[in-house]
Structure formats: structure tokens, C-alpha cells
A and B are shown apart, each in its own frame.
Chain A
């Protein structure tokens, strides 16, 4: 199956190259642009409509900022802006936050927004059965009070500099709403129209929205499982925009074509070769560094992404505040690699199994690593597993030597401060810095601490950070007003217009 998709991509690319790919036709601009229907194409269908019950990347893309809003929002540029919180005050010791809510906000069911809704929304995320990826960030909350309908007072057990930022992940949901996996009751500029599983999800402009009304009447997310089918839909004007292109094979037909705009935004998705740092020989820093220096990451990135994507030397993408260029800490140098192996007592190399998720780009990356590491005497056995098996085998049971995985979130370097995480990196100094950074009194102090973490994990080659994915949005040239960075899989649609 895996091979055939590659074959499909190749044959399509060849066919397109041969056919010279006819230019797009004219788009039907329909009525005035305020009444436009925007057709979006995406590979990420929500699994369900709740972000605390495993709705996945798809529900974040379709709903965050569009159907649901938080007290704060993470803008496409990575800035944290107040949204449903009109203002806030923080006590001197950083433990007491008081939020005042926006006036005139209503839920789609007609209920007015009150402090009780905010309280129950936070409780939804920290609840025992919550599947929210952010649950552990909110463990610092010790108490939530609602002195009146407009005020929420939150007490923390220890200072948390990322608290406001983390709040941007919490959807404010009506506290009386039911069946949130299949319906919604948010405050955003759109209400849920129709969700046809396996096909599309439509959003309708909400007429009583408290802020600026959406610039379009309706937005439809059209879901595809096949990247080629998705590109074809854009070429043939069935959709206006692709939220995230996952393969450069599809791009050639859009670059240099005035009917389309290709945007190369800032992504936060990192391709990792994650060692299990608990097992020999990866418990030795020298061995991990040897593996790192044996890999020509530049050549790998070019072979996977052509001219797109970025090289990184650690877990931190350039858009995180504590970024610094560390690409030379573990340079590509096969001779150095052999020296390091000899130092570690493995002059003849060693053998390990690489658990490789079966979906792109991992299989291609695994084969590349296999040939690179063979040059320094390391034998890689590729074991292909499904995403589902990856969870059971690697993530839960820690039954692996090394694996490939993409990590999508921003500011996730802090996972190296958790010795219980799946990759088992355990450096007490780093754990302490991460905790001090979170309790820092200022963002400058936080940034300084996390830079130390950043430098240390690179020096220890905690993992191999192969490259940063590009974030590519392709749109019909008569569409504008969309975000290009796709931070944390968000895709705000209310400003999209058709000219």
C-alpha cells in the first residue's frame, strides 16, 4: 500500500509534467463578496467535534477561532491576544488571575456568556476523562471563583508564566450544552451547518456575533484522504484553498501559475528521530551524537521537500521565543561519527530497529537514514507500524529502540523536562530549568532558562531533529484573508474574501 501511494504520486507528477497541466479556468465569483461561499480543502477531518474527546487536528482546524473562542487567542503570527477576556489583572506573586469578560457575547443557542461558562469550560479540560493534549498544563490551577457574571478569578498553586498562552487552547463552551462530540455551542463567528462524515463540514455565519461579522456567508471544509485528489480539486476549481500541502509532488502545478498563490509559512512541525534514551547503546550521549553526525539532514530535507522546509538543530522552531540557531552543534561529519562510535566502545558500529509509522514522510525518511547510517557501520532494521501501533508499542509500552515521529505543536521543547516521556530523556538539570522557566517572573527570564534547555538537549543529542516541515497553503488567486502559518493546526476563516 505504502509503495503504491509513492507510485501514484510519481505517476501523477509525471503525467502532469507531460500534460503541461492546463491553466485553471475562471472562478465563479457569484454574488457580492460578503455573501461568498468559501470552499476549503483539507486532509484532516475531525474525528468528532470535541477537543477534549479526541477530535484531533481536524476539529482544531475547523472550529478553533471559527466556532469556539477562548479567553485569549493565538494569532497566526504567534501573538497571544485577548478575545473573550476584555482585561485581566495578576497579583504580585503571580498566583491570582482575575479576568473580566467581554460584554454582549452570546452562545449560538442564544444563551449569554457568563463567568460560570468559563469555569465549566476550564473544568472540562482538566476533568478526569478529558483527552485534551493540554490537560497537564492546567494542573497548576487550584481554585476557580466566579464572584459575578462578568468576573472569573483563578488561583494557581505555583506561578505559571505560560498560563495566559495556555488559556488560548481552551474553548469556551456553554455550560448547558450537551452532545458536544456531535454538535456545538460556542461563541465564534460561525455556527455549525452540516457535518457529512467522510465528505464535508460547513460553517454558517452567525448573525449575532459579538465582534466583527465574518466577511463571508459560509465556509465549507471539504475532506480528502488522498493528496492527489485534493490537488486536483483545487486545479479544477472545486475548492478555493488547501490548508496544508503535505507533499511537494503536488506543488509544481501551482508555482509559476498566476491563477494560484503558494504561501510558504512558518511551521512548528518537526520530524524527529527519537531514541529511546533508556536503552543501550542510546543511553550514551556519544552514540546519539554519532548517529546525529552520520546523517546529512540537508540532503534528506531536499529529497523529501525540495526547496521547502528548514533545518533545525533542536526541538525549537524559529517562531518560538527561545529559538537560537543550533544546527552546528551536531554537524554532518561521518568521520566525527566514526570517532564518537569508537569512543563509545563501538568501533564496528551496532544494529538497531527503527519503528517507522507507515504514513508519509516516515518510510522515505527511514530508508534514507538506513543508507546514511550504513556508511558509518550502523545497521538499521526498519519496522513499519501503523499510527495506531505506534501509540501502543512506542508511546504506551516504551517497547522500542528508536522511532520516527512528527511533533506538531509550538513551544513543546518542555517535554524534554519530563523524564517519563516516551523518549526517556532524563537530565535532572534540564528538568529543573524547565520548571524554573515555567515559574519565571518575566518572559525574559523564561526565555533565558529555555535557551539553556535548548542548548543542553542539543549538546546531549537527546533526539535527532531532522528538519522542520514547511507550512504550505495554496489558494486560488482571487481568495485572500487567510492565515499562512497554521500554528497548532489553527485555520481562521472569518476574514477570507473572494474578490
Chain B
């Protein structure tokens, strides 16, 4: 297990460095220039040159990359080209919105999807099982911003039950206020996410129901629920966990879209603004943090799977990592 962990961590570190390098280069081939965000339509050639010098977009790529990578090593994410504010503290402030939003949405999606997926599988011959499958199919087709707009119109604009958007100026100083402003965005993302999760859980459950070991357990006289608890849960959860890792990362992406609909000052809206302005330090900082999070989620999902399923532990031979 220790050998595995060390290898897995090395793999994580290498993928992280490659990801950062690719992102850095991708950003630089985008058309446009970060200096442009600083200019007005009256800008003179001198002003254009000055703006380029200010953001360093006139320097060689390799120099820009090592500058940035070097400061990363000291955990300094640099300073925004546009606002001149340090990137790190701003990302931290935005995480205070995006992380709770992502986790709460994900929890809600699971709360809906676990029972819904299970029922849709076990009761696939009943009308409500079929209805659940149908709903989840529909949910996958619905764009997340549309759900958000619908919820705002019903619960904020017409019923006045919840704020239509925004986040308290004092952040989490008053947790009740902060949570209130997250209710609609969380329901929006949670509902949409639960649709695809329901389908995964339904198919994992169907696999278990059709499996030989469950049939053998039933043949030995176990009840369906007893056999499912004893054998099915553990077997069925292995593929679900790796899907959960991916879905958690997807929830984060959903947050990007929803933050703009609900005027939430999170990481997603920060990324959109930064991309519009070519604010490289901000974009790189956000991608640095989010790539790290996504890789760590994948890592955690892997490790948990190996704890659950002993077969995964022996399947590692000398030829690399599964």
C-alpha cells in the first residue's frame, strides 16, 4: 500500500506539472493581449507600449513561464495585471463562496440521486421506477442556467421567499445570511447534477442485481435486501466512487455558470472576468488551485476504492498503475 501511495503521489505531481505547462501555453496562444484591457479607444502607440511593459506581455515566453513557476514554488500566486491586487488572497475569498456552493450542491445531488437511482433500478417494472428514469433522462438535457433562471423567477421575483442573487458583503460573518443566499444556487446545481448521478447509480444497482454473487446469496436463502446490503453495496460502490470523483469536479464547473446567473462572487465569476481581460496571473492562479483540487479528488477516489475492494490491491504488478 505504501509503495502504491508513493507511486500514486509521484504520478499526481507529474500530471500536475504537465497540466500547468499546457495551461500556460494554451493561455499564451489565445488571440489578444492582456495589455488591451488597460487601454481606451483613444490610446496612443506610446500608451500601448507602456501597457505591454506593465503586464510583461512584451517579454519572451520562457522568461514569463519560469517567473511564474518560480514564484509558485514559494506559494506566491503573483499579482493581477489588471487590479494590482495579490492573486492568492482573492482566490481564498472566492473559495469561501465556491467551495461551500460545490459541496452543498453535491451533497444535495447525492441525497436525491442515491434513493432515486436505487428505486429506478429495483422498481424498473413499476410506473414510478420508469418515471424516475425518465426524469433523470430529462434532467441531463436541461441546461443549468435555465433551471437557475426559472427558480429565480418563481422563488425570488414572484414569491419573494429568497434573494435573487448576490452574497452578503460580510461573507460568513452571519452564516444564516450566507446560507440563505446559497439556497437557490445550490438547488439549481444539485437538481441538475442529481439527474446524471441517478443514472450512474441506477446502472450500478442494475449490475449488482444481475450479478452471480447476488443470485448465489439469494439461492442460499438470503433476502434480497440482506444480500444487497452484505454483498451488493460494497461491490456496487466501487464504480460509483470513481464516477463521484468526476462528478464532483463537474459540479465545480456547474458552479462557474451558476455564479454569473446568481451574481455570486465566486471562483467561477472570477475566472470568467479574468479570461475576458486576459489577466494571466488570475487565470493561472485559479487553474492552479482548481487543477490541484481535481487531481486530489481523483487521488482520494482511487485510494478509497482500494480500501473497499481488495482485488484492486493485488492487480498492481510491476507494470505501472491502474
Contacts and interface: CB of A to CB of B under 8 A. Distances in A.
A98 interface: no
A280 interface: no
A198 B273 CA distance: 8
Task: Give the interface centre of B37, B40, B149, B150 by most chain A CB atoms within 10 Å.
Answer: B40
Given A198-B273, A236-B156, A182 B37 contact: no
16 contacts: A8-B149, A45-B273, A47-B38, A131-B38, A131-B39, A135-B42, A182-B83, A197-B93, A198-B94, A198-B266, A199-B167, A225-B273, A236-B157, A395-B39, A396-B48, A407-B41
B152 interface: yes
Contact of B164 (A8, A128, A135, A229): A229
A47 B37 CA distance: 8
Interface stretch (A19-27, A459-467, A491-499): A19-27
B182 to A, nearest CB: 14
B145 A133 contact: no
A58 to B, nearest CB: 11
Nearest to A359: B276
Given A131-B50, A133-B42, A197 B31 contact: no
**Secondary structure of the A contact surface, majority rule:** mixed
Interface residues of B, number: 56
A385 B31 CA distance: 9
A48 B84 contact: yes
A177 interface: no
A233 B36 contact: no
B47 A135 contact: yes
Interface residues of A, number: 61
Nearest to B47: A131
Contacts of B153: 12, 15-16, 19
A197 B160 contact: no
Given A226-B263, A389-B32, A233 B165 contact: yes
A22 B169 contact: no
Interface in A334-379: none
Task: Give the interface centre of B153, B167, B260 by most chain A CB atoms within 10 Å.
Answer: B153
Q: Which 4 A-B pairs have the closest CB atoms?
A: A54-B38, A388-B32, A133-B40, A391-B36
Given A19-B157, A131-B51, A197-B90, 8 more contacts: A16-B157, A133-B41, A182-B83, A198-B273, A222-B166, A232-B152, A233-B166, A392-B32
A403 to B, nearest CB: 11
A328 interface: no
A226 B148 CA distance: 13
B214 interface: no
Nearest to B31: A389
A339 to B, nearest CB: 34
A128 B167 CA distance: 40
B259 to A, nearest CB: 9
A129 B157 contact: no
A391 B157 contact: no
B13 interface: no
A233 B164 contact: yes
Interface string B36-70: 11111111101110110110000000000000000
Nearest to A25: B160
